[in-house]
Amino acid sequence: MNKLPKKPRNETMYRAILSLETLDECMKFFDDLCTVTELMAMEQRYQVASCLDDGMIYNDILAETGASSATISRVNRSLQYGRGGYEIVFSRIKEKKE
């Protein structure tokens, strides 16, 4: 499969996200930025990642989240071979709980 080269990322949006200070601000920003369907897909992927991080098996994740096996596999690949973004978030959330 021949992939086209990726365009360089525009950091402006990511810096905008980092400027948000509260959960309410974050929710408002993403409500404005994304469609309901896009938000639901991102929320589901995060929920799947959290379940995988907790050691749940695919069938239980499917029952818990309603995600397809393809989505669960895709998220699992991101956890295994991605850039570590989920791990950063999970470890910071765990630190704040302690």
| pLDDT score recorded for residue 97 | 86
| pLDDT score recorded for residue 8 | 72
- In angstroms, the first-to-last Cα distance of the chain is 46
Predicted TM-score (pTM) of this structure: 0.85
8 A C-beta contact, residue 48 and residue 61? yes
- Would you kindly state where each structural domain of the chain is located, as residue ranges? 34-97
| pLDDT score recorded for residue 2 | 54
Taking the CB of residue 82, how many other CB atoms lie within 10 A of it?
13
| pLDDT score recorded for residue 10 | 85
Mean pLDDT of residues grouped by 10 in the chain (98 residues)? Answer: 67 95 97 97 98 96 96 97 96 90
CATH of domain 34-97: 1.10.1270.10
